[in-house]
Amino acid sequence: MKKRVLFTIAMVSLLLVTCTRRKSKLTFMVGGAPNEVEFWEKLTETFEKKTGIPITLIRQPTDTDQRRQGLVIPLKSKQKDPDLFLMDVVWIGQFAASKWLQPLDGYIRREGFPLEPFFGRVLESADRYNGELIALPVYVDGGLLYYRRDLLQRFGYRSPPQSWAELVRCAVKAQTTLRRENPNFWGFGWQGAQYEGLVCNFLEFVSSNGGRLTTKEGKPSLNLPENIEALGFMVDLIHRYKISPPNTYTEMKEEEVRNLFQSGNCLFERNWPYAWSLHQAKGSAVRGRVGIAPLPGFGGKPGASALGGWHIGISRYSDAPAQAWEFVKFVTSYKVQKELVMGLGWNPARVDIYDDREVGEKFPHLPALKGVFQTAVSRPNLPYYPQVSEVIQRWANRALAGKIGAKEALDKAQKEAEEVMRAYK
């Protein structure tokens, strides 16, 4: 009898321990273009089959600001779900400073997990906070110029433009002629809506004119003459040269720009690498007619690409961190990183994939892009970056709408950014 009681107690305790150690399902929050989320769904299924660890995917929108807000709510209220999520490189600082991320060093040391395959610059600048590793990069992004190869040829251009002035000349010429056949044709699509993508575009124009968003000491330098000139040029693209549509400042985010170009209604497009595979997919009106190049610069200055990208982290409030770590390892493994490139055309965070033969055959432009990422310009890495970004978004967008001059907009933005810094520092 005594034996039986002891046995029952032992079984109940074992059950309790198992239950508290392993909750029923991991939850992973991820967004993106519809094809990207579908891809993640397949990956989570594979992970579940392979490891026996159940995982549910929670779909998020495409827009990075909305994705951040969707995560801030559960994290602020210390909810156990989601266990894992993808983070835009620009919000990691805020998440780390808020102590919402589990440090990964313990797992890495214990398992001898190698960090060498990842882009060192990306890892060190984004994933380490106060010396602790709090995330791992999944893919890197850099702004690129997509162009219609067939149309450049038709109008007598041998190569894509290297300067913004050349791009305008070429776009005006093509648009004027093509409008006779197609009234919906535009010269150049880019992201000008009031959201984070506008800051990336602004940073690229500014940097390709020798400007910058902050001083070397990290103070805002938004109203530099180079920046004012660059914003003035962005305004001109819409209102003076009229090669970018008026809805650039009301609607144009990544997907809107991609759709404009992919429907065959645009000569040049500024977008991230993900657009390539979709342009080349079956059913795309521009399939086989697209070229990819670095973004142009002003005068003889080199073009600049904004450094973007998404990183995976484990919530500090997760009640299954060890299982979540298994998923982090899975996503950053060579095999899955290669699948992400082959399936989505993303640029992997692992340098070793760039030398993969099969990847090189499918994406011949990839090795050249490695250089773009290594020199891409970062947005300021600040815990209160979202607040600074909001100021830039609002004033740059007002200038694009033609409501205020570029100088006045950036003077106002500078003042507000200084106030944000004072308030948060």
Applying CB under 6 A, the residues found at the interface with ligand GLC are: 64, 88-90, 141, 196-197, 200, 254, 272, 308-310
CB of 204 to ligand GLC, least distance (A): 12
Which residue's CB is nearer to ligand GLC, number 64 or number 332? Answer: 64
Structure tokens at 244: 């970018």
Whole-number minimum distance, CB 213 to ligand GLC, in Å?
A: 14
Q: Which is nearer to ligand GLC, 268 or 272 (CB)?
A: 272
Contact between residue 56 and residue 278 where contact means Cβ atoms under 8 Å apart? no
Query: ∠ CA 187-193-194 to the nearest 5 degrees?
Result: 155
Spatial distance between the Cα atoms of 295 and 202, rounded to a whole number of angstroms = 13
Q: Which is nearer to ligand GLC, 297 or 309 (CB)?
A: 309
Structure token pair of residue 249: 């400042």
> Scanning the structure block, which residue is given the tokens 């961190």?
321
Counting Cα atoms < 13 Å in the Cβ hemisphere of 184 gives 8
Least Å distance between CB 119 and ligand GLC? 14
Q: Which two tokens stand for residue 304?
A: 């600049």
**Nearest of 285, 282, 278 to residue 148 by alpha carbon:** 285
Give me the half-sphere count of Cα atoms (radius 13 Å) on the Cβ side of residue 114: 9
Q: How far is the CB of 140 from ligand GLC (least distance, A)?
A: 8
Single out the residue of 305, 306, 265, 255 nearest to residue 285, CA to CA.
Answer: 265
Residue nearest to ligand GLC (CB): 308
* Residue (254 or 326) nearer to ligand GLC, CB: 254
One-letter identity of residue 133: L
> How far apart are alpha carbons 100 and 2 in whole angstroms?
47
Nearer CB in complex with ligand GLC: 148/253: 253
CB of 142 to ligand GLC, least distance (A): 9
What minimum distance in Å lies between the beta carbon of 276 and ligand GLC? 14
Which CB sits closer to ligand GLC, 60 or 244? 60
